[in-house]
Structure 1
């Protein structure tokens, strides 16, 4: 078969969701590693202050595209911004733009979706299902279309413990649900949402499952492949390690842990944290389009893009590497020293929430009020708890994903393509990746300069001394209030101290005799 860059040579590509996290990395990768590509059309929602072309130009000026601009200074000339609103009828495309896309596009990457777990069912259906349906209908009219790639999620069928690389029947007919939502008011929709989503944790996973079925049923005449990434995180290698630009998913929790705000979390230490670097997902997606475009398979190919089955990494390990990284390379103006306790025990979790989150936040806000400033920590803690609740399902459970199609695709690549479009997660070294991930949140999300590390380390040492001082005062108070006033308490205290002294003396004598 021809190589991946040769397949994309002279092709016109359409990307939805190009201004999102994964969409930007996909755009950069296509332009940089497939230099023969003719043009990339991106659907962009217009904003009041910016035209689509201006939004794309601003996006291209960010650090993610530095390497591309250096290697290919004229790359921006291949970009075509198309004004579109995916939540509107016919995607809010003008007649001229529709005709242009119908006549020009060879490959479609449908990446756009709402990734908010707590989105209302109506809004999640609108962007994840109805917009996908409209994209499929538009693709069916494209005269030169070779392949349609739909980016889903590995958790679309998370109500199953073992997930194959197939499209599963949905719990309801998407068309009937779409028709029902047209006459239901918001109150009724919210009331029936828990019954509709059933044993799925949120509207995101529910609507992504429906979208897969829509793609399969209504795109039966198209050459389609579906890519299902798990928890998409910072880049592994490309265009450089640690690229991340948002607080979504685990990134916000990593930052909260580094700041010392997140102290406890409901999670299972032994549950698999199925993180997948964004550049791995993008390489996998680009290769999936190549394979389907060249081979024209009879059935839809579904790819589970995950790490748990081939290179498992657990939440307990995630916690260890996040905390150790931020202790060595602290975030600026940390609230407390980084330290997180993971627990799956309900009572223990709520105890730590009260002691480690709410009590310090209340005291800090009280201090801010006394000093004439606005309290803010309790609001921060409340937002953090809401984010934690949305992720508890995924940090407390594990799944088994089949990877036959993914392994097949990997084996089809020639040696050069395996290097340039690497998605072999067996090569992923988790300790190195997690350090780059954490440093990426520091540099690219919080925009903290590495030159500020000495001051941040000094601040962390100050927080350590404050903690030691507080603990000393607490022990003295306990002694004065409880122990010093009771003869029985003093006797118990002296007994414990003398017992410890005897043990220390015994071990010291034993070690001396051995010497």
Structure 2
């Protein structure tokens, strides 16, 4: 077998979802590590008055592409933006664009999907299921297609405790479901949604499971592979450690914790946090396409599925995530923090609700009251409400653990040359979690919040100020407790004086001991 860059040399590649988080990392890595690739077609729709070409031009000018720009200044010439909308008939492709893709494409990466967990079922099906069906229909027409890669999620079958690298049949016939939803109004669909998704927590995981089965049923003679990442986080190494550009998934939670806004969260300390760096997922995806494309003549009869996860190979638990976040943001604080970082995970829902009220809602109401008195617009309760919605979405995943089979991932790694293993590394056994989490947290500071490291001294000074305010508040509170409760009771005063005198005697003893030495 040729190595991975050699396989992609001279190939024409099509990427859907190229402007999304994973899509743009895939585009950058493909162009940088496979410089022989001929053309990369990216399917992009017009948005906010911007043409697909303008959107791609803006995207490749971001921090992510700086290393590629330095190594290959003319890389943009290999990118061709194709005007497309995956929710429209025939993907809204012009006849000319359809002809170009049918005649030229060798490899398809279907990354496009809605990642909103609480998307209405009709919308989720439109974006995750029907769009996949349209992509497959287009792929069937391609004359030189070698491999079709479908990017799914490891949580597509989260209603199971053990998840093998196979496509599971959904609880309903997807064709009948599509026909039924077509005539239903939105209110009726919303009423039926809980019954349809069953034990799955949301429409995202449900529709991704439907899409997988659709791929299996409608692939026909196409050479198809499915990649299932778990919770995709910041980059591990490439193009530089800690790169992240959005608030999605755990990133927004990390930032809220760093700002001191998030103080309590429903999670199990012992549950495995199946985070997987985005560059690990992309490297595995490119390798999966290489393997299936190189083996297309003697490919297996069943679709190869890759569970791209870390929990079974290099487990990292939510309790460890909590410690890393608190430690990193105390040493390297975010600017203008609301409070000192000190998030706590609680598995008991009642305890968590109590601390949510005490640590989130009441301070937010007090702060908004202060802002109103000062003539400013209150904003903290709005922020807290959004935060609580995000936490409710993640609760299911932070309170459960799964067992994923990763035999196919290990097989894929074993077929790679030593050089390919270095360039397209997805061996998560080498991942050092404490270092990765520090880079992740610092990545949210640098790339999401755009905070310069030169501002760290001021941020640390602000954090010390918050600490002093907290100590002052606690002292005043103790004095008030003394005046209201203790000073009015003779028995309480006797106990108080006994404790104080005992402490004084201990201090005197230790001082005398140190003097004698």
**Is TM > 0.5 for Structure 1 vs Structure 2?**
yes
Where does residue 238 of structure 1 map in the other structure? Answer: 238
Q: How many Å apart are 1:384 and its aligned residue?
A: 0.4
Question: Matched residues in 1 for 2:508 and 2:387: separation?
Answer: 48
Unaligned runs of 5+ in 2: none
Question: Matched residues in 1 for 2:482 and 2:50: separation?
Answer: 65
Residue of 365, 385, 391 corresponding to 1:382: 385
Q: How many Å apart are 1:497 and its aligned residue?
A: 4.1
TM-score (norm 2): 0.97
Question: Matched residues in 1 for 2:476 and 2:380: separation?
Answer: 24
Question: Matched residues in 1 for 2:376 and 2:176: separation?
Answer: 53
Q: Does 1:342 align with 2:341?
A: no
Q: Does 1:355 align with 2:358?
A: yes
Cα 1:502/1:208, change in 2 over 3 Å: farther
Deviates more, 1:374-383 or 1:494-503: 494-503
Q: How many Å apart are 1:450 and its aligned residue?
A: 1.1
Question: Matched residues in 2 for 1:263 and 1:465: separation?
Answer: 18
SS at match of 2:156: coil
Where does residue 323 of structure 1 map in the other structure? Answer: 326
Q: How many Å apart are 1:503 and its aligned residue?
A: 7.1
TM-score (norm 1): 0.97
Question: CA offsets, 1:153-190, max 9 Å, x none?
Answer: 00000011110000001011111111111100000000
Where does residue 81 of structure 1 map in the other structure? Answer: 81
Pairing of 1:8-157 with structure 2 (within 5 A): 8-157=8-157
Where does residue 476 of structure 2 map in the other structure? Answer: 473
Where does residue 309 of structure 1 map in the other structure? Answer: 312
Where does residue 457 of structure 2 map in the other structure? Answer: 454
Question: CA offsets, 1:455-512, max 9 Å, x none?
Answer: 1111111101000000000000000011111223223333444565677789x59999
Question: Matched residues in 2 for 1:398 and 1:80: separation?
Answer: 41
Pairing of 1:129-278 with structure 2 (within 5 A): 129-278=129-278
Question: CA offsets, 1:6-49, max 9 Å, x none?
Answer: 11010000000000000000000000000110000000011242
Question: Matched residues in 2 for 1:101 and 1:433: separation?
Answer: 39
Where does residue 395 of structure 1 map in the other structure? Answer: 398
Q: How many Å apart are 1:53 and its aligned residue?
A: 0.8
Q: Does 1:404 align with 2:404?
A: no
Cα 1:488/1:108, change in 2 over 3 Å: same
Question: CA offsets, 1:385-405, max 9 Å, x none?
Answer: 000000000001100100100
SS at match of 1:155: helix
Question: CA offsets, 1:215-272, max 9 Å, x none?
Answer: 0000121100000000000000001111100000000000000000000000011110
Aligned residues: 514
Question: Matched residues in 2 for 1:137 and 1:110: separation?
Answer: 13
Question: Matched residues in 2 for 1:306 and 1:258: separation?
Answer: 26
Question: Matched residues in 1 for 2:287 and 2:359: separation?
Answer: 46
Question: Matched residues in 2 for 1:48 and 1:476: separation?
Answer: 57
Question: CA offsets, 1:61-90, max 9 Å, x none?
Answer: 111000101101111010010000111111
Residue of 404, 417, 420 corresponding to 1:417: 420
Question: Matched residues in 1 for 2:493 and 2:133: separation?
Answer: 75
Question: Matched residues in 2 for 1:84 and 1:160: separation?
Answer: 36
SS at match of 2:118: coil
Where does residue 290 of structure 2 map in the other structure? Answer: 290
Q: How many Å apart are 1:95 and its aligned residue?
A: 1.1
Pairing of 1:476-495 with structure 2 (within 5 A): 476-495=479-498
SS at match of 1:222: coil
